[in-house]
A and B are shown apart, each in its own frame.
Chain A
Amino acid sequence: MKHGRFMVGLVGVAAVITYLVWTGVSTTMVYYLTPSELMERVEADPAFRDMGVKVSGKVVPDSYERVEGGDLLHRFVVHDLEDPTVTFPVEWRDALPDTFSDEVEVVVEGRLNTDGVFEATTLLTKCGSRYEAAPEDMAR
């Protein structure tokens, strides 16, 4: 007899976990886009601004400025990896990673606000040789 009730319990737990995963994915997922793709999406559907997105691009040389004032605020411009004419400004309110510099590849996560400024909540710099470098480069 108890077997039936037991199965109900098990199925219930499985259902709850599935529900958690499902809603977790749908509320926290972020699109991984290139700057060009982001611009296209936002143009086609302005509501897309509210989606969380992760965008990778390169920091435009000399675009970085530190905004003076009490809190940390950094501004810089990011351009598309393939099409350098597609750019957007980024605002970042935290310490910059050690590896941040001009032309470094960055991944910013956040939202594009209505002024066209990307408000980043996370900022990662990608460094190709982080854990493995090719000694072939040493040959001359």
Chain B
Amino acid sequence: MTVLGEFALWISLPVALWGMFLGFAGGRTQRGDLVLSAERSVYAVFLLHLVASIGVIAAFVGDRFEYWYVASYSNREMEIFYKITGLWAGQRGSLLFWALLLGLFSSVAVFQNRNKNREFMPYVAAVLQTVLAFFVVVLLFAQVNPFERLDFIPANGQGLNPQLQNYWMTIHPPTLYLGFTAFTVPFAFAVAALLNGRLDARWIVLTRKWILTSWLFLSIGIVFGMRWAYEELGWGGYWFWDPVENASLLPWLTATAFLHSIQIQEKRGMLKVWNMSLVLATFLLTIFATFLTRAGLIESVHTFAQNLTIAYIFLGFMGTMLALCTVLILYRLPQLQSENKIESFVSRESAFLFNNLMLVGAAFAVMWGTLFPLITEGVTGQQISVGPPFFNRVNIPIGLVLLALVGIGPVIAWRRATKKNLQRNFSTPFIVGLGTAVVLWFSGARHGLALTTWSISAFVLTIIAIEFWKGTRARARIEGEGLLKAFFHLVTRNRRRWGGYIVHVGIVIMFMGFAGAAYNVDTKHHVMPGDVVEVESPMGHTYELTYEGLSVSIGRGQRNLMWQMIASVSVQVDGRPTGILTPEKRSYVTAQQPMTEVGIRSTPIEDLYLILAAVDDTNAALSADASAQGIDLQVLVKPLVSFIWLGCLMLTLGTVIALWPSADRRRLESEAVDAAPATAGA
């Protein structure tokens, strides 16, 4: 099976290249047979990569340690679940996995359009195959072939890094990859539009769902990563502006900008060059994110071994794509002129533009900060880096403006907002926001940035609540429906709009959660069994923690575990016992150093987060009397962390609502198809 997989991977390269040439040639010559062949090659490449991926999994499950990749990421004792997910646990497999997902999406896109939008499809297939061919070239020629064999057969593999053996970690990378790869489809359509000259909003209409899908997976993938860091890294944070985190944030920022600016092109025929640039930028940033993770140029907890061959291939590909697309955009510049002008500073167009500018500005700042060590080293020979303080300093103000725009953008009038429009839409929310600030101030929450965030959040939530209320009431009156029914119909009749509002609510909730970090409590204690630690939380609760003692369990290598040292800490909140938390230290056969497992008690308003920082005498604890050991206990209280996960759930719900196909939408789309040739001819 594995040999077959390797063979399939090699075959996929000529097939992808074949599809690429035929696609471009078929598009130019308008020959249907060439185009059909190109499209079929897309399916073929996907199937070949499927075989290759199954080959890798088979090697993992069969403990085939003669393969370098399997020997590095698995061993006999590993659970079958982690053997299967070994496909994307390391650099080599995850590049193949990336190609597999891209092939899957490419096939879906080609299949969806097998009978329609034929003017786009030759080039779409060609572009998709170009990107696929690139990844196969990397896999085969950049010393990252997952099928590479060792010249001996090790008795056992090295096993997976225990920090990666976590539920969130197994779903975080695939989710991000889904987001990254799905964005290749809109990019392919954009390039097809540049090539076939169909430069109205058609390519955007066709790929809107792809854009949203990609954005959704990117968002969830980033939050999954945060969740993993929070639970597994054991220092109490969820984000630390690590280069690879930044790399996943960059395409999210530009994709978010794109998601908004395409609405201006659809409604007002403006920002065409801008949208082309954004789709190109986002695509390149998805590649850049892979590049940064895989090439190891910047120091990070995520990076795999440094590999310069990969770096050159990636840089070459990104450079070529950037150059070609820039030339294409310049060539089509006359056809990419705006059909309208911005009429007023105070208008929806303007709000969306500022949103775009802020998002792109944030992306620029994050990129600059991430690449700063590389830049300074190149220019001055001296590595100078910027850390979290830089990113926070720049991104918090930008984030707050964006947060306010989340409220303003969707309700301000198109073209030109009158004073009356402004007063009607914003006076109540403004008062609520201000009121929230005053109430928070007097109740003792006086951290400037947090206060501002919560106050703006109240402003935005009020705006959205009023929108929902007005819509529901109007519908109830006109249609004579009950409020609940009217609300349901309101959302289902215009899913894009109301789904969008729900996404916005999710974003606001997440921001409220981020601001909670201003009130983090972090205390450290040395405790002996029986000692009690008291911690006051900013929300007014008192935690009484009793260290009950340490227990040790010896794992003897089962599931790769050597030993666990578990501290029992009983928790009382405001005098009421609420159970026991068990922060741990674990030692795995597969890692030289012990790992920290934290104990978390999560409530909607705050998390209690216990870290077993150190045990007084590890050796004594393991050999003799564990229960008498003193420990260093770190106690963290983290307000509103749950809001982040809740916000992500809302965001997902809203996006799914917006994506859900509806009867109305199908009708609208078929109308759009009928109407499209007329506008294109005009």
List residues of A whose CB falls within 8 A of some B CB: 2-3, 5-6, 9-10, 13-14, 17, 20-21, 23-25, 27-32, 54, 70-72, 94-96, 98-99, 101, 109, 122, 127, 130-136, 138-139
B301 in contact (CB, < 8 A): yes
Question: Known contacts A32-B383, A71-B524, A95-B634: does B389 contact A2 (CB below 8 Å)?
Answer: no
Q: Which of B353, B373, B614 contacts A32 (CB 8 A)?
A: B373
Q: B593 touching A6 by the CB < 8 A rule? A: no
Residue of A nearest to B395 (CB): A20
Which 7 residue pairs spanning A and B have beta carbons closest together?
A95-B613, A32-B383, A17-B361, A135-B71, A28-B389, A28-B390, A99-B593
Whether A72 pairs with B387 at a CB distance below 8 angstroms is: no
> Are A135 and B68 in contact, CB atoms less than 8 angstroms apart?
yes
Q: What residue in chain B is nearest A125 (Cβ atoms)? A: B593
List 29 contacting pairs A-B, 8 Å CB cutoff, sorted by A. Answer: A2-B344, A5-B345, A6-B350, A9-B345, A10-B353, A13-B358, A17-B357, A17-B361, A21-B394, A24-B369, A24-B389, A24-B393, A25-B372, A29-B390, A32-B384, A54-B385, A71-B524, A96-B614, A98-B234, A98-B596, A99-B593, A101-B593, A130-B161, A130-B301, A132-B91, A132-B304, A132-B305, A135-B71, A135-B72
Residues of B within 8 A of A99 (CB): 592-593
Asked if B342 contacts A2 (CB within 8 A), the reply is: yes
* Per-position 1/0 for B611-622, Cβ under 8 A of A: 101100000000
**Interface pick from B77-85, B151-159, B485-493, B528-536:** B151-159
- Cβ A136 vs Cβ B90 within 8 A: no
In the bound assembly, the distance between CA atoms of A82 and B402 in angstroms comes to 48
Q: Is B28 an interface residue (CB 8 A)?
A: no
Query: Cβ of A28: which chain B residues have Cβ within 8 Å of it?
Result: 386-387, 389-390, 393
User: B200 an interface residue at 8 Å Cβ cutoff?
Assistant: no
Which residue, B302, B305, B390, B596, has most C-beta atoms of chain A within 10 A?
Answer: B390
Residue numbers in A under 8 Å from B369 (CB-CB) = 21, 24-25
Complex CA distance for A54 and B387, rounded to whole angstroms? 11
A109 to B72 alpha-carbon distance, docked (Å): 32
Chain B residues whose C-beta falls within 8 Å of the C-beta of A24 in the assembled complex: 365, 369, 386, 389-390, 393-394
A48 and B599 alpha carbons, distance in the complex (Å):
42
Q: Would you give the 0/1 interface string for B279-294, flagging 1 where the beta carbon is closer than 8 Å to chain A?
A: 0000000000000000
**A131→B357 contact, CB < 8 A:** no
- Asked if B90 and A132 sit within 8 Å, CB to CB, the answer is yes
Residues in B with CB closer than 8 Å to A136 are 150
**B-side contacts of A14, CB under 8 Å:** 357, 361
- Asked if B343 is an interface residue, CB under 8 A from chain A, the answer is yes
Minimum CB–CB distance for B362 against chain A, Å: 8
- Tell which of A27, A98, A99 has the most Cβ of chain B within 10 Å: A98
Contact of B385 (CB < 8 Å), options: A6, A10, A32: A32
Task: Give CA–CA (A25, B91) in the complex, Å.
Answer: 32
Distance of A56 from chain B, by nearest CB (Å): 10
B382 at interface, CB cutoff 8 A: yes
Give the CA-CA distance A77 to B354 in the complex, in Å: 51
Asked if A2 and B398 sit within 8 Å, CB to CB, the answer is no
Establish whether residues A20 and B595, one from each chain, have CB atoms under 8 Å apart when the complex forms. no
Q: With a CB–CB cut-off of 8 A, which chain B residues contact A20?
A: 365, 393-394, 397-398
Nearest-CB residue, chain A, relative to B612: A95
List B363-398 residues whose CB lies under 8 Å from chain A.
364-365, 368-369, 372-373, 382-387, 389-390, 393-394, 397-398
A72 B304 Cβ-Cβ under 8 A: no
- With contacts A2-B344, A9-B345, A14-B357 taken as known, whether A138 is within 8 angstroms of B393 at the C-beta atoms is no
A99-B593 Cα distance, complex, nearest whole Å: 5
Contact B358 A95 (CB under 8 A): no
Interface SS of B by simple majority: mixed
Question: A10–B596 Cα gap in the complex (Å)?
Answer: 48
- Cβ B384 vs Cβ A29 within 8 A: yes
Additional A-B contact list (14), CB under 8 Å, known A2-B345, A95-B613, A135-B71: A9-B354, A17-B364, A30-B384, A30-B387, A32-B382, A32-B385, A54-B385, A70-B526, A95-B614, A99-B593, A132-B72, A133-B158, A135-B65, A138-B154
Cβ 8 A contact of A95, one of B164, B303, B384, B524: B524
Q: Which residues of chain B are near A134, meaning CB under 8 Å? A: 72
Kindly supply a per-residue 1/0 record for chain B positions 390-432, scoring 1 wherever the CB is within 8 Å of any chain A CB and 0 otherwise. Answer: 1001100110000000000000000000000000000000000
Decide if A6 touches B342 in the complex (CB within 8 Å).
yes
Interface residues of B (CB under 8 A from A): 65, 68, 71-72, 90-91, 150, 152, 154, 157-158, 161, 164, 234, 301-305, 341-345, 350, 353-354, 357-358, 361, 364-365, 368-369, 372-373, 382-387, 389-390, 393-394, 397-398, 524, 526, 585, 592-596, 611, 613-614, 632, 634
Q: Which residue of A lies closest to B90 (CB)?
A: A132
How far apart are the CA atoms of A71 and B389 in the complex, in Å?
25
**Given A17-B365, A32-B383, A132-B91, is A72 in contact with B342 using a C-beta cutoff of 8 Å?**
no
Chain A nearest CB from B387 CB (Å) reads 7
List the B side residues contacting A30 at CB < 8 Å: 384-387
Would you give the shortest CB distance from B146 to chain A, in whole angstroms? 13
Partner pick for A31 among B305, B345, B384, CB 8 A cutoff: B384
Cα A132 to Cα B344 with chains together (Å): 56
Q: What's the Cα separation between A55 and B350 when bound, in Å?
A: 47
Residue of B nearest to A104 (CB): B593
- Which residues of chain B come closer than 8 Å to A130, judged between CB atoms? 161, 301
Q: Residue of A at shortest CB range from B150?
A: A135
How far does the alpha carbon of A14 sit from the alpha carbon of B369 in the complex, in Å? 17
Q: Is the CB of B154 within 8 A of A135?
A: yes
Measured between alpha carbons, how far is A134 from B150 in the docked complex, in Å? Answer: 11
Q: Which residues of B contact A95 (CB under 8 A)?
A: 524, 611, 613-614, 632, 634
CB distance from B481 to the nearest CB of A (A): 42
Beta-carbon nearest neighbor of B151 in chain A = A139
Assembled-state Cα–Cα distance A96/B594 (Å): 12
CB-CB under 8 A from B383, the residues of chain A are: 31-32
By a CB distance below 8 angstroms, the chain A residues around B342 are: 2-3, 6
Q: How far is the CB of A54 from chain B (nearest CB, A)?
A: 7
Chain A residues with CB under 8 Å of B382's CB are 31-32
Do A29 and B365 have beta carbons less than 8 Å apart? no
Q: Report B-chain residues with C-beta under 8 Å of the C-beta of A70.
A: 526
A131 partner residues in chain B, CB cutoff 8 A: 90, 161, 164, 302-304
B158 contacts which chain A residues (CB < 8 A)? 133, 135, 138
Q: Which residues does chain A contribute within 8 Å of B393, judged by CB atoms? A: 20, 23-24, 27-28
In whole angstroms, how far apart are the Cα atoms of A21 and B392 in the complex?
11
Residue of A nearest to B343 (CB): A2
Chain A residues within 8 Å of B357, by CB: 10, 13-14, 17
Give CA–CA (A27, B387) in the complex, Å: 11
The distance from the CB of A111 to the nearest CB of chain B, in whole angstroms, is 14
- Using A25-B372, A95-B614, A135-B150 as known contacts, say yes or no to A3 and B390 having CB atoms under 8 A apart: no
